[in-house]
């Protein structure tokens, strides 16, 4: 027999190819300085951290003018206020422009695969309930390829925050329509207009039995930060849809709701215990049978007392108000649609393990191996 074939030569351990990694490579993204852990760290005390401590040394690579910048800035500003140590915070994302987010947060992070962030985050949070887990996803990522994982994350009520950057377009793949794009949308993949019926993420989340459902917009940092904070405060899966402008492939998709000249009469901000009033107090919403009606508060016919008082604990109201998005004559709602308390998945998993362990005692490997009928030879 001939001698065995020679093993292919492989790079020796630790030896770097010429010019690596010190040399500045030409391609985009290469040669970045290693990320330096900033701030005090060590004792885990977040005290004294600032917005800057949550930024990484990586260049942010979204298109100039992209709504993602505002979301990132808001998050970095919020972080020090939440009081969670940096090392306890994890951002998990899928794939898409939006999903680059973790690279820019100086926390732990995992930029995973398209659509799967909710699944990965479920495993992370179920095994490490002590971590503060945020999911960042896009409308294609969360609702198209990852739709399945999204609904199951919500129904299980995994204690994480999920931020859905909805730009009603596939940004990273250069502008195809998404599951939230309006019917008739002309894109590269739909030159004659899309015939797909879109859905709205909020009713979908409610349908999946989410325990916290809210919507905000990239152009209103104050509201956005308030919503992020509320999402964070919620024990359980918090679903936050963020209207995000993709100025390259879907510019102005939400301008009607976000820009100063139209915002007042196109957007309404839900507040628990407060009447549904908008258009600078000129208009309100009242419940007429199972539908909502916009009423004019300026003529004297109607007053604020006629307006529906919002109750974020009511799934019925949440369902009605979330469906409003389809009605052209009604304003688009923002704020917390729904919130309820339900034990979280990660909590239940741990509780069950603790219960079984109390009942059966800590597992004993030798006993397990020797269980059942045994015999000596």
Ligand X SMILES: Cc1ncc(C[n+]2csc(CCOP(=O)(O)OP(=O)(O)O)c2C)c(N)n1
Cα dihedral sign for 306, 308, 310, 313? positive
66 is an interface residue for ligand SF4 by CB under 6 A: yes
H helix or E strand, kind and range, residue 111: strand 108-111
Q: Output the DSSP codes for 81-106.
A: HHT--GGGEEEEE-SSSGGGGGGGBS
Residue among 167, 187, 211, 266 that touches ligand SF4 (CB under 6 A): 167
In this structure, what token pair is assigned to residue 309? 């008082």
Give me the phi and psi of 323, to 5 degrees please.
-80, -10
Residue among 75, 124, 227, 242 that touches other proteins (CB under 8 A): 124
> Within 6-35, which residues bind other proteins (CB under 8 A)?
7, 10-11, 13-14, 16-21, 25-35
In this structure, what token pair is assigned to residue 267? 């957007």
Q: Which of residues 300 and 361 has its CB atom nearest to other proteins in the complex?
A: 361
Asked if residues 153 and 121 have their Cβ atoms less than 8 Å apart, the reply is yes
Terminal alpha carbon distance of the chain: 44
Q: Which of residues 42 and 300 has its CB atom nearest to other proteins in the complex?
A: 42
Q: Which of residues 122 and 180 has its CB atom nearest to other proteins in the complex?
A: 122
Instruction: Please state the closest distance from residue 265 (CB atom) to other proteins, in A.
Output: 41
Choose among ligand SF4, Mg ion, other proteins, none what residue 111 binds, the Cβ cut-off being 5 to 8 Å by kind.
other proteins
Q: Which part of the chain contacts ligand SF4 (CB under 6 A), choosing from 41-49, 59-67, 122-130, 154-162?
A: 59-67
Instruction: Please state the closest distance from residue 104 (CB atom) to Mg ion, in A.
Output: 17
Instruction: Please state the closest distance from residue 177 (CB atom) to ligand SF4, in A.
Output: 14
247 is an interface residue for ligand SF4 by CB under 6 A: yes
172 is an interface residue for ligand X by CB under 6 A: yes
> Within 57-76, which residues bind other proteins (CB under 8 A)?
58
Residue among 167, 194, 245, 344 that touches Mg ion (CB under 5 A): 167
85 is an interface residue for ligand X by CB under 6 A: no
In whole angstroms, how far apart are CA 213 and each of 128, 135, 169, 314? 24, 14, 22, 12
177-182: long-range contacts, CB 8 A cutoff, minimum separation 24: 178/138, 178/139, 178/140, 178/143, 178/144, 179/139, 179/140, 179/143, 179/144, 179/147, 180/139, 180/143, 181/250
138 is an interface residue for Mg ion by CB under 5 A: yes
Q: Which of residues 85 and 94 has its CB atom nearest to ligand X in the complex?
A: 94
From residue 132 to residue 161, what is the string marking binding to ligand X with x (rule CB under 6 A)? ------xxxx--------------------
In this structure, what token pair is assigned to residue 172? 């990273």
Cα–Cα distance between 323 and 318 in angstroms, integer? Answer: 8
Residue from 155, 160, 156 nearest 208 by CA? 155
Instruction: Please state the closest distance from residue 244 (CB atom) to ligand SF4, in A.
Output: 7
Binding site for ligand SF4 (CB under 6 A): 62-63, 66, 68, 97, 167, 171, 246-249
Binding site for ligand X (CB under 6 A): 95-98, 114, 138-141, 165, 167, 169-173, 178
């Amino acid at each position: 027999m001939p001698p065995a074939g020679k093993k292919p030569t492989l790079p020796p351990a630790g030896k770097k190819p010429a010019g690596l990694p010190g040399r500045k490579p030409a391609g985009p993204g290469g040669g970045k300085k290693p990320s330096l852990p900033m701030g005090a760290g060590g004792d885990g005390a977040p005290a004294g951290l600032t917005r800057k401590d949550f930024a990484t040394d990586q260049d942010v690579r979204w298109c100039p003018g992209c709504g993602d910048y505002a979301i990132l800035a808001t998050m970095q500003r919020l972080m020090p206020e939440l009081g969670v140590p940096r090392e306890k915070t994890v951002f998990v994302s899928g794939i898409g422009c939006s999903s680059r987010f973790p690279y820019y947060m100086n926390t732990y992070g995992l930029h995973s695969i398209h659509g799967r962030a909710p699944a990965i985050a479920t495993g992370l949070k179920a095994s490490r309930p002590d971590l503060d887990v945020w999911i960042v996803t896009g409308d294609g990522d969360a609702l198209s390829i990852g739709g399945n994982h999204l609904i199951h994350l919500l129904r299980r009520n995994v204690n994480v925050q999920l931020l859905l950057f909805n730009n009603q377009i596939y940004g990273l793949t250069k502008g195809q329509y998404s599951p939230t794009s309006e019917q008739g949308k002309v894109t590269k993949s739909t030159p004659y207009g899309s015939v797909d019926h879109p859905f709205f993420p909020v009713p979908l989340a409610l349908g999946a039995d989410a325990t916290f459902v809210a919507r905000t917009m990239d152009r209103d940092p104050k509201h956005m930060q308030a919503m992020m904070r509320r999402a964070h405060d919620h024990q359980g899966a918090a679903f936050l849809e963020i209207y995000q402008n993709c100025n390259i492939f879907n510019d102005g998709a939400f301008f009607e709701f976000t820009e100063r000249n139209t915002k007042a009469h196109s957007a309404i901000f839900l507040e628990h215990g407060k009447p549904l009033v908008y258009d600078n107090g000129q208009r309100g919403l009242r419940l007429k049978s199972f539908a909502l009606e916009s009423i004019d508060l300026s003529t004297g016919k109607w007053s604020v007392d006629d307006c529906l008082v919002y109750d974020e604990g009511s799934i019925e109201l949440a369902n009605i108000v979330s469906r409003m998005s389809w009605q052209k004559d009604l304003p688009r709602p923002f704020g917390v649609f729904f919130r309820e308390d339900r034990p979280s998945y990660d909590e239940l998993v741990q509780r069950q393990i603790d219960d079984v362990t109390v009942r059966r005692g800590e597992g004993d490997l030798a006993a397990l191996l020797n269980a059942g009928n045994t015999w000596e030879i």
